[in-house]
Amino acid sequence: VYNAAPAWGVTVGDALGVPDPVLTQHQHQHQGQTFSFLGIRVSSPLTLVVNGKRPPGSALAPPRLALSNPSAPP
């Protein structure tokens, strides 16, 4: 689950409700083989319903800021 906190997750056997999913077909080629699979995305893990309940706010990974300046001297 993207953007989920490292300490949160779902396990085998959990009932998972996915409101407003975005279904995407992925196709990748590597060393002459083609891999094709479907991916489901949601805007946030907080929108899921796990075993009839919404995840707690702590299920969302904290934001991280990454900065780069390619023109800055090393």
pTM exceeding 0.85: no
17: its two tokens: 């409700």
The domain segmentation of the chain, as residue ranges, is 1-41
2: its two tokens: 């993207």
Q: What kind and span of H or E run contains 36? A: strand 33-41
CA distance 16 to 29: 31
The pLDDT score that the predictor gives to residue 68 is 84
If you average pLDDT over every residue of the chain, what do you get? Answer: 90
The predicted-structure confidence for 17-36, as pLDDT tens digits, reads as follows 998 889 999 999 999 999 99
Q: What kind and span of H or E run contains 22? A: strand 22-30
